[in-house]
Amino acid sequence: MTSQSTRKTILIVDDEMVIRDVLEDFLSSEGYDVVTVSNGHSALNELESDHYDAVLSDLMMPEMTGLELIAEINNRGYKIITIIMTGYGTIETAVAAMKSGAFDYILKPFKMDEVLSVLDRSFERLRLQQENVNLKETLNLYRISETIAKSREVDSIFGTILDATEIETDADYILLYLGDRSMDGFSGLQRFSARVKEQKETIKINVDGLSSILTDDGVFLENDEIKQYFNDLPTVLIPRSLCCVPLKVPGGHLGFLLVVSFTRKIFFREGHRKFLSILGSRAATSYENARLFSELKDTNNELTEANRTIKENFRQTIVGFARAIEQNDPYTRGHSDRVAVFSRLIAEQLDLPLSFVEDITFAGQLHDIGKIGISSQKLNKTGKLNAPEIRMFRKHPEMGKRILEPIPFMRHLISGVYCHHEKYDGTGYPQGLAGDEIPLMGRIIAVADTYDAMTSDRSYRKALNREVAIHELEINSGTQFDPDIVRAFLVALEKSGIEDFNDDGL
């Protein structure tokens, strides 16, 4: 970890006092804080107790050589610059120094300018390395965040979090704990490294203890006194480092993300703390979003169901009205239901889509709903209608259209209601449309309606028998009716086996 202060601290390690003094005087005058020691062991003690930015070490020293010192520094994971000073200026020495992990080397006897230039170069290299690491971490975090943000599935979000935590921290134990705010029975996920997998059954975290010390900002990183966070632990496992971050959501936290190292050389550092903190925050938000999304879906399903029920009730009410118009008239009772059946037969015979078959059945039931405004005496009049009565009667398609227009989920039925008195040759009403100008629903209902009217008793005449009615359809095919529809109807009627409907037949 580099110092936040602009003054850099350098540890000089040399068994020759003269060299130590010269370097101390010179580097101090150049603005460095300098500490000197005479051997490798003292150097390691210094590094353990204090922070240094660089170590300048002699190569040949009693007890511990410079190369051995650098190897141990790297082994302990100190992120500092190490430079070897050697009087044995051969390529082999330099190669050995670099191999042991040194940043650079200085040949004795040295000029002071060379020392400064090697130090400057090393610090610049360290800065670039650090920038590179930061950039890599930021990129990783960005990729992970993107993956999490795109997911609506809780399992997938948590899988990504655990994978990323495993890769970035190399922890022995990872726990993603969700406490009692669990969803679908989920309360936590654990991961164990290969190093501790044999003891995994006996690692018991003190969840309550951890939960109680987590506050909203309560990220904590511990490298001492970690045992208190365990309820049970095998004696072979000594916890070395622990980092715990809360999964923050508005109004509290869901649980926490915990990493533990039982491995001597693996300690979590500030970078891990920051990484886990961001990951935890992202996990909590995504979890909340996924939960809200799931709730929203449930609510939406309930609304859809409620809407479906309302539509169905409304449909039944409208059909009830249509039937009510016929109820007072023994001659037309059941007419709309029969027209619905015939229309359905035709649509099925024409291989029309199921949705159209359903729609035309419904439209058949409603085709005369516009008669709701015509008095029953006029509807059931035995004699011929006079001119004003005919005009009024002919308004029923228009009336039907007006009744259905304000109802959004019935508007698509209007063409069947409005156009069922149009004639194929253009002599019908209300618009006088001809041929294919007449919507298909209108052309189908026209055939079904006329056939049923002919085969039912009416107040002004007796029912025609089936053969006569069929003959009437045939001779008016191409003039009053669409010939394709007449053909389809006659085939469908034959196939259906329907002989005759009585008044209560439907």
Residue whose C-beta lies closest to Fe ion: 368
Beta strands (DSSP E) in 6-125 are: 9-13, 33-37, 54-58, 81-86, 104-107
Q: Which is nearer to Fe ion, 5 or 328 (CB)?
A: 328
**CA atoms within a 13 Å half-sphere pointing along the CA-CB vector of 404:** 28
- What are the residues facing 189 on neighbouring strands? 176
Count, residues near Fe ion per rule CB under 5 A: 1
- Cis omega before residue 430 (within 30°)? yes
Name the segment binding Fe ion (CB under 5 A); options: 153-161, 253-261, 365-373, 432-440.
365-373
- Asked whether position 168 contacts Fe ion by CB under 5 A, the answer is no
**Could you give the CA distance from residue 295 to residue 261 in angstroms, rounded to a whole number?**
38
Rank residues 453 and 464 by Cβ distance to Fe ion and give the closer one.
453
Cβ pair 40, 69 in contact under 8 A: yes
CB of 368 vs Fe ion, minimal distance in Å: 5
In whole angstroms, what is the distance from residue 199 CA to residue 197 CA? 5
Residue 174's H or E segment, with its range, is strand 173-177
**Cα 203 to Cα 232: distance, rounded to the nearest angstrom:** 6
Among residues 359 and 368, whose Cβ is nearest to Fe ion? Answer: 368
364 neighbors 340 (Cβ within 8 angstroms): yes
Tell me the pairing of strands 220-222 and 252-261. Answer: unpaired
For Fe ion, which stretch binds (CB under 5 A), given 153-161, 219-227, 280-288, 367-375? 367-375
Residue pointed to by tokens 């078959």:
357
Residue 422 CB, shortest distance to Fe ion, in Å, is 11
| Cβ neighbours around 455 below 10 Å, total | 17
User: CA 317 from chain center: how many Å?
Assistant: 41
Interface stretch with Fe ion, choices 106-114, 180-188, 363-371, 374-382 (CB under 5 A): 363-371
Tokens of 262: 């039982």
> Given the complex with Fe ion, which of 104 and 368 has the nearer CB atom?
368
What is the full DSSP assignment across 119-160? HHHHHHHHHHHHHHHHHHHHHHHHHHHHHHHH---HHHHHHH
Residues 6+ apart with CB under 8 A from 288: 249, 254
What's the min distance (Å) between Cβ of 390 and Fe ion?
A: 13
CB of residue 363 to Fe ion, shortest distance in Å? 12
Q: Kindly state the smallest distance separating residue 370's Cβ from Fe ion, in Å.
A: 8
Q: What is the DSSP letter of 481?
A: B
Helix or strand run (H / E) with residue 446? helix 440-454
| 348 or 368: CB nearest Fe ion | 368
Q: How far is the CB of 399 from Fe ion (least distance, A)?
A: 11
Q: 23 vs 419, which CB is nearer to Fe ion?
A: 419
Please choose, out of 144-152, 340-348, 361-369, 453-461, the segment that lies near Fe ion by the rule CB under 5 A.
361-369
Between 53 and 368, name the residue whose CB sits nearer to Fe ion. Answer: 368
Closest to Fe ion by CB, 172 vs 337, is 337
Q: Are strands 33-37 and 9-13 parallel, antiparallel or unpaired?
A: parallel
Q: Measured from the CB of residue 356, what is the shortest distance to Fe ion in angstroms? A: 21
> Phi and psi at residue 438, in whole multiples of 5°?
-75, 125
Nearer to Fe ion, 116 or 453 (CB): 453
Contacts with 98 (C-beta within 8 Å, 6 or more apart), sequence order: 105
| Minimal distance, residue 416 CB to Fe ion, in Å | 11
Query: Binding segment for Fe ion among 70-78, 181-189, 368-376, 471-479 (CB under 5 A)?
Result: 368-376
Distance, first Cα to last Cα, the chain: 88
Least Cβ distance, residue 396 to Fe ion (angstroms): 6
Residue number with CB closer to Fe ion (147 or 336): 336
Q: Which residue lies nearer to Fe ion by CB, 260 or 379?
A: 379
- CB nearer to Fe ion: pick between 14 and 368: 368
Pairing of strands 81-86, 54-58: parallel
* Span near Fe ion by CB under 5 A; candidates 102-110, 112-120, 346-354, 362-370: 362-370
Is 49 strand, coil or helix? helix
Q: How far is the CB of 393 from Fe ion (least distance, A)?
A: 9
Query: Which is nearer to Fe ion, 221 or 366 (by Cβ)?
Result: 366
What is the closest distance, in whole angstroms, from the C-beta atom of residue 436 to Fe ion in the complex?
21
CB of 411 to Fe ion, least distance (A): 19
Q: What is the DSSP string of 353-398?
A: -HHHHHHHHHHHHHTTGGGGGS-HHHHT-SS---HHHHHHHTTHHH
Q: Give the single-character DSSP code of 464.
A: P
Q: How far is the CB of 397 from Fe ion (least distance, A)?
A: 7
If binding is defined by CB under 5 A, does position 368 make contact with Fe ion?
Answer: yes
Asked if 337 interacts with Fe ion (CB under 5 A), we say no
Question: Contact positions toward Fe ion, by CB under 5 A?
Answer: 368
